[in-house]
Amino acid sequence: MKASQEKPWMKYYDTDKAARPVPELSIMEYLKEQMKDRENNIALMYQDKVITNDELFKNIYATADAFAGMGVKKGDYVVVVSITTPEIVYTFYALSLLGAVPNMVDPRFSVKGIRECITEVDARFVITLTAAYEKVVEAVKDTNVEKTVVLSPVVSLPKIKQFLYGLKNKFPTDMPESFMDWHKFMEYGEGVHAEHITDRAHECCIIVHTGGTTGPSKSVMLSDYNLNAISWEMKKTQMTRLNSGHDSVLNIMPPFIAYGFGYGVHLPLCNKMTSIIIPVLEPDKLGKLIKKYKPQEITGVPYHYQTLMQDPIMKDFDLSFLTKPCVGGDTLAVPIENQINEWLKAHNAPYPVIKGYGMTELSACATACVLDLNKPGSVGIPNGGFIIAAFDPETGEELECGETGEICVNGPTIMMGYYNNKTETDNLIHIHKDGMPWVHTGDIGYVDEDGFVFLNGRAKRVFMDWFGFKVFPAAVENVVSLCEDVEYCCVVPTPNKEHVRGFVPCVFYTVKKSCIKSEDELNAEIESLCTRELAEYMLPKYYKKLDEMPRTPIGKTDFVGLEKLANEVFD
């Protein structure tokens, strides 16, 4: 049975609802349509500041007028170097109204990295957070940037909070003439009534950047249609069974990844939910945030949940309000999944963790496990209008259900392409014999007879031993995670020094706070587990305990960094 032809996952869907096409609307048209008669509902919460739907729209229109008054027009790119704040949400929708595009940049980028993001789109305008101000001052030199807006993260807060913040974080003084604060920027909109562009469903509305966990970061163009499809297709899934009509989501993801705006802002707003904006997440403070806001939904990587499980503030805390504990973005070993679910159940959370799978080039999530639609080890069934199948990487032929190959995805959230990079776009998106575009994810796995997707790891992470056998790091990680003292683990390759070719697995791991064993004892225990559970060619050669697992800015495991470390410590 071929998954793309039989679509076995459709037995879990309302077929009439699943057949409904994504509306051909701009993101603002779609947002207004979904928010009808809900003007007084809470759209955003930001450090206890409440912003209603009506206030949201007023601020978006005012921001659009300010951009128009400053000279932003259709086709312009505005570089945004910031975390998520209400002003950045207004900016996102306001630029869409003008037909302009925000290029979202991580404030932790270097001067060189920020300058590259400016020059790649030939930006004339920049918005920067105060924390990145000095880098942006240098980055805009010798570029075509005409004006730069410097944004304090407390603009939306009461004066007293702005004052207290200012005591610790001084706003830049003696700024270059072309720089201004947010209030000065908004004055550009006085007396301006910007023309709103709506016929733009398939035009670029945002540029976000890939995480670069397995290679160089790329600039991903997503359209209005892509982001609307996230919300529209989610309405068809079993996730809707969990909505109460007054839900809130703890938005801990930054705006410079697809998840940040697509799932953290646009989807909640279009689904009668409140987005609680957390501009910068300190993982060890996540428990405190959950206790304070009591959100119905959180979305994090496995590391976030493992941190929660170790947090003393969560001991005996009632999580009965948490109906949608979502996890994605990184490998979730079955033993860790079981531990998280046991912990949730012990804290009265009504449902197990909701797993998802996707990538920036798919506007984030493409599958989900919800309620009883779950199989341990799987990442769920395809969302709404998606088709997922495994293909033979060498022949390009689709494999039968249950056969392992490269996971490929067709669906309404496929990116427009990498900005100004047709070669890499064509390497990722292939037109198959069926005439449809398929994203070749680089992930290895299979689709079973019920339509559940299972992953064995990334193709870029899969490596060969000296004899030519493929080693799947995820399979080794599943075994290492069986050790009750291991909190988190990651397997990477290092060159085989005993042969002229091939690689051997290296295990890096961290331990739970309760662990009292020595590293030698742990290594021996883990090695015994691997010897018992793994084929000989997959047995790790080296084991190393770390105090902390290296992470990317959004909490994913830094595979590239670990490979470099392996080459250093196991030389």
Domain ranges of the chain: 3-23+210-457, 50-200, 461-569
> Rg for the chain (alpha carbons), in Å?
24
Per residue in 66-95, pLDDT (tens digit) is 999 999 999 999 999 999 999 999 999 999
Q: Does residue 304 register a pLDDT over 90?
A: no
Whole-angstrom Cα distance, residue 231 to residue 245? 15
pLDDT band at residue 301 under the 50/70/90 scheme:
confident
Give percent above pLDDT 90 in the chain.
Answer: 58
Q: Does residue 50 register a pLDDT over 60?
A: yes
Per residue in 189-208, pLDDT (tens digit) is 999 999 999 889 999 999 99
Q: Does residue 466 register a pLDDT over 80?
A: no
Quick one: pLDDT at residue 420? 94
Quick one: pLDDT at residue 63? 98
**Average pLDDT of every residue of the chain:** 89
Quick one: pLDDT at residue 233? 86
Whole-angstrom Cα distance, residue 312 to residue 328? 24
Mean pLDDT (whole number) for 200-229: 85
Identify which of 192-206, 447-461, 548-562 has the greatest average pLDDT: 192-206
Residues 6+ away with beta carbon under 8 Å from 523: 543, 545
- In terms of pLDDT, which residue wins out, 40 or 168? 40
Structure token pair of residue 558: 């830094």
Quick one: pLDDT at residue 143? 97
The CATH number of the domain covering residues in 3-23+210-457: 3.40.50.12780
pLDDT band at residue 460 under the 50/70/90 scheme:
low
pLDDT band at residue 536 under the 50/70/90 scheme:
confident
Quick one: pLDDT at residue 45? 95
Quick one: pLDDT at residue 213? 44
The CB density around residue 250, as the number of other CB atoms within 10 Å, is 25
- Helix ranges (H only) for 242-312 are 258-261, 267-269, 286-293, 302-310
Q: Does residue 317 register a pLDDT over 80?
A: yes
Identify which of 62-66, 233-237, 440-444, 495-499 has the greatest average pLDDT: 62-66
370 has which bridge partners? Answer: 373
CB 222 within 8 A of CB 362: no
Mean pLDDT (whole number) for 136-163: 89
Whole-angstrom Cα distance, residue 401 to residue 499? 37
Q: Does residue 175 register a pLDDT over 80?
A: yes
- Indicate left, alpha or beta for 229 from its phi (over 0: left) and psi (-120 to 50: alpha): alpha
pLDDT band at residue 163 under the 50/70/90 scheme:
low
50-200: what fold? Rossmann fold (3.40.50)
CB 459 within 8 A of CB 442: yes
CA 46 and chain centroid, separation = 20
Mean pLDDT (whole number) for 463-474: 74
Residues 6+ away with beta carbon under 8 Å from 52: 39, 40, 41, 42, 43
Q: Which CATH number fits domain 461-569: 3.40.50.720, 3.30.300.30, 3.20.20.140, 3.40.50.2300?
A: 3.30.300.30
Quick one: pLDDT at residue 467? 60
Mean pLDDT (whole number) for 275-291: 90
Quick one: pLDDT at residue 472? 78
Identify which of 172-176, 316-320, 493-497, 530-534 has the greatest average pLDDT: 316-320
Mean pLDDT (whole number) for 85-109: 95
Quick one: pLDDT at residue 148? 98
Q: Does residue 257 register a pLDDT over 90?
A: no
Mean pLDDT (whole number) for 7-26: 89
Q: Which of 19-33, 48-62, 172-186, 492-506 has the lowest mean pLDDT?
A: 492-506
Quick one: pLDDT at residue 214? 45
Quick one: pLDDT at residue 333? 79
Q: Do domains 3-23+210-457 and 50-200 have the same CATH topology?
A: yes
- In terms of pLDDT, which residue wins out, 334 or 84? 84
CA 70 and chain centroid, separation = 32
For the chain, give the longest Cα–Cα distance: 75
- In terms of pLDDT, which residue wins out, 253 or 190? 190
Whole-angstrom Cα distance, residue 146 to residue 126? 8
45 has which bridge partners? Answer: 50, 276
Whole-angstrom Cα distance, residue 80 to residue 246? 31
Quick one: pLDDT at residue 474? 80
